[in-house]
Amino acid sequence: MSLLIALNLFAYSTILGWVGLFLYIIATEIFINLARNKALSSKKVCQNVFNLNIVLTTIFLLITAIGSGNEDFIFLSIIPIFQSTLYRKFGYIVGIIGAGSLGVLVVGFDLAKVVSFLTVIGVLTFLIMILSKTLSRTNSKADYLHSIATTDALTGLINRREFDKRMIEEFSRSKRHKSPLCLALFDIDFFKKINDTYGHNTGDTILKELARLISSNTRNCDVAARYGGEEFALILPETAQLEAYELVDRLREIVEKELFNKTQRPIKFTISVGVGQLDLADRSPIDFIERTDKALYAAKQSGRNRVEKAPFGFHFVSKKREAV
């Protein structure tokens, strides 16, 4: 934006214009840095910065046009109008057009100039509105398609494909930064019996309610997924095994005490959990998942409704070698 205005100023070379541009750039940079400041930044602050930037740009163009005596600067009002249209600030557009018309009148009334200004700005505003709506619809469709591709339709958690992708990303990040990473795998005990006794619709309700319970009792940084059937997965970044064990054991206790399917036939059930921490011996996410899955199997073999820790990689690898 500043570059476009600067080029026009260069063409007309006015001292007032250059001074105004200098002050405008300083003010704009202050607003941008304010918005980037994490301590001050918020949705409301960013919105206020955006509004101030539009007002500042409009005032600058108006002052430059009047100060230089050249109403052609008013046509640059399309810049703040473009911003306002993209963010659907239609009230600002009316104000900008009004300010531009005032600038044309102050510089020197020329009916042809006024009509030309309003016509050009009106046509460009209309085209920008069409562009804005097209981009909005395109983004909405893209978000919808991404949601379908990555989300489990029943539970609302991420699906197995997205889990595999996130697992690879977290595995690589943990290896690169040498930070702890844990994985928990768990499933519903005797879920087949629940389906056979109460029906598959009840089974689906239980899966949905359990998914909501998992989401509400885990941290924002944790990644919950439906791993398959009645089995769920939980990726725990920046988490050591002891902390992960305490987290999932607390979740297990919550599930044990919770009453599910309350509106129909209330049901209680338990979950078995295997939890493992990424180890140097894990050469791939598959190795990591396999170790954790064996811990889940051990939890089920040990009587269910419990959490089992996965042995660390070297111990696991040595057992595989002994088997060979």
- Do 316 and 168 share a structural domain? yes
Query: Chain centroid to CA 164: how far?
Result: 19
| 190 part of a folded domain | yes
Residue that finishes a domain, picked among 124, 148, 172: 148
Q: Is residue 177 predicted with pLDDT exceeding 50? A: yes
277 and 251 inside one domain: yes
Read off the DSSP letter of residue 312: P
- Rounded to whole angstroms, the maximal C-alpha distance in the chain is 95
Kindly report, residue by residue over 224-279, the tens digit of the pLDDT.
999 988 999 999 999 999 999 999 999 999 999 999 998 888 999 999 999 999 99
* Same domain flag for 278 and 308: yes
- The question of whether 230 is a catalytic residue gets the answer yes
> Half-sphere exposure of 17 toward its Cβ, with a 13 Å CA cutoff?
22
Q: Check if the beta carbon of residue 59 is closer than 8 Å to that of residue 102.
A: no
Two structure tokens written together for 92: 């600002």
Give the residue, 304 or 68, on which the prediction is more confident. Answer: 304
- Residue 308, beta-bridge partner list: 274
- Residue 260 resides in a domain: yes
Q: Which two tokens stand for residue 243?
A: 């902390």
**276 assigned to some structural domain:** yes
CATH number for the domain spanning 245: value is 3.30.70.270
279 and 205 in a single domain? The answer is yes
Residue 155 placed within a domain: no
Residue 153 lies in a domain: no
In whole angstroms, give the CA distance from residue 85 to residue 117.
Answer: 18
User: Do 141 and 189 belong to one domain?
Assistant: no
For the residues of 195-251, what is the DSSP string, one character each? HHHH-HHHHHHHHHHHHHHHHHTS-TT-EEEEEETTEEEEEEET--HHHHHHHHHHH
Last residue of a domain, one of 148, 174, 198: 148
Is residue 160 within 8 Å of residue 226, measured between CB atoms?
Answer: yes
Say whether both 23 and 131 belong to one domain: yes
Mean pLDDT of 12-39: 59
Candidates 71, 170, 230, 308; catalytic one: 230
Domain containing 201 equals 160-323
Q: pTM score > 0.85 for this model?
A: no
- Domain identity same for 113 and 165: no
First to last CA, the chain: 68
Same domain, 165 and 134: no
Are 142 and 166 in the same domain? Answer: no
What is the count of structural domains for the chain?
Answer: 2
Distance between CA atoms of residues 49 and 70, nearest Å: 29
pLDDT tens digit sequence for 266-314: 999 999 999 999 998 889 999 999 999 999 999 999 999 999 999 885 5
Residues 223, 281, single domain; the answer is yes
Domain for residue 76, yes or no?
A: yes
Same domain (yes/no): 210, 277 = yes
Domain stop point among 148, 181, 212: 148
| Residues 124 and 100 reside in one and the same domain | yes
